[in-house]
Amino acid sequence: MKQKIKTILQTLMAVMVILFVSGIWYVVSAEKNEALHAKQELEIQEVVETLEAITTHTLPNFERANNQTFINSTIACVDYIYNTTSDIYPVNLELLVAQAALESAWGNSRFALEGRNLFGIRTYDLREPHMLPSNNPKKWGVKVYMHECDSVQHYINILNNGTKFEEYRKLKHGQDINDPFKLVMTLDAYASDKDYFGKVKRIIKMLREDYTLKSE
């Protein structure tokens, strides 16, 4: 009899433990489901906002009739990218426009006209659409884009994520320095000649003295 009672008590204890653990699991599971649901709602909202931004903002026409129209078109690309892309760090506008002007001859280089590449961005994957410079040993090519704004976005992504531009990010984001004359000095990987920094700085001065940089 005692053994039966003991067995019954052990069974009851086991059932109680199972119910207790199940209750905890249900609460934890419910909390997890609630957190997952909230996360999914946030992700859906971000997608909706991105789609709304894309439908609201249209890809700008890129014009290069003169230096000012080139500047306006480049800035229009920047505005379009910032308005239709989430989680992107803005770059210094004067630096971006100055490098675009230098690298593309104000939008009139062969790579800018035929490949819509404003920054001379290279690709080492020759399966990608590319153009070859006349003196190229076919080890790399200059990327070809569908639109000039695509090259602007790639440039922004390179500065924000490229392994060769950590010094730029330390200065821009780490120290909150937005002076283009200081930021350009971190772009060694972009320097194609000894006077590269000087050329970019001179264009920045031109932009300030002779042209209008107006963003939305």
| Residue 61 to residue 80: CA distance in whole angstroms | 11
Per-residue b or e along 104-140, where b marks 16 or more CB atoms closer than 10 Å to that residue's CB: bebbebebbeebbbbbbbebeeeeeebeeeeeeeeee
Residue 143 β-bridge partners: 130
pLDDT at position 5 = 44
**Mean pLDDT for all residues in the chain:** 84
**CA–CA gap between residue 101 and residue 125 (Å, rounded):** 26
Residue 8 to residues 15, 17, 18, 19, Cα–Cα distance (Å): 10, 14, 15, 16
What confidence tens digit (pLDDT) does each residue in 71-116 have?
999 999 999 999 999 888 999 999 999 999 999 999 999 999 999 9
The pLDDT score that the predictor gives to residue 134 is 84
Tokens describing residue 158: 């390179």
- 141-143, strands of its sheet edge to edge: 122-123, 141-143, 130-131
Beta bridge partners of 215: none
The torsion angles phi and psi of 143, rounded to 5 degrees, stand at: -60, 145
- At 131, phi and psi to the nearest 5? -125, 150
* Rounded distance between C-alpha atoms, residue 154 and residue 85, angstroms: 12
- Among 31-45, 66-80, 139-153, 194-208, the least confident range: 31-45
Question: In the CATH hierarchy, which top-level class contains the domain 67-210?
Answer: mainly alpha
| 187 in Cβ contact with 193 (< 8 Å) | no
* Per-domain boundaries in the chain: 1-56, 67-210
pLDDT of residue 178 exceeding 70:
yes
Residue at token pair 């107006």: 214
123: tokens are 């690709």
Listed residue (45, 47, 48, 103) closest to 74, CA to CA: 103
10-34 confidence digits (pLDDT tens): 564 664 556 455 565 555 466 667 7
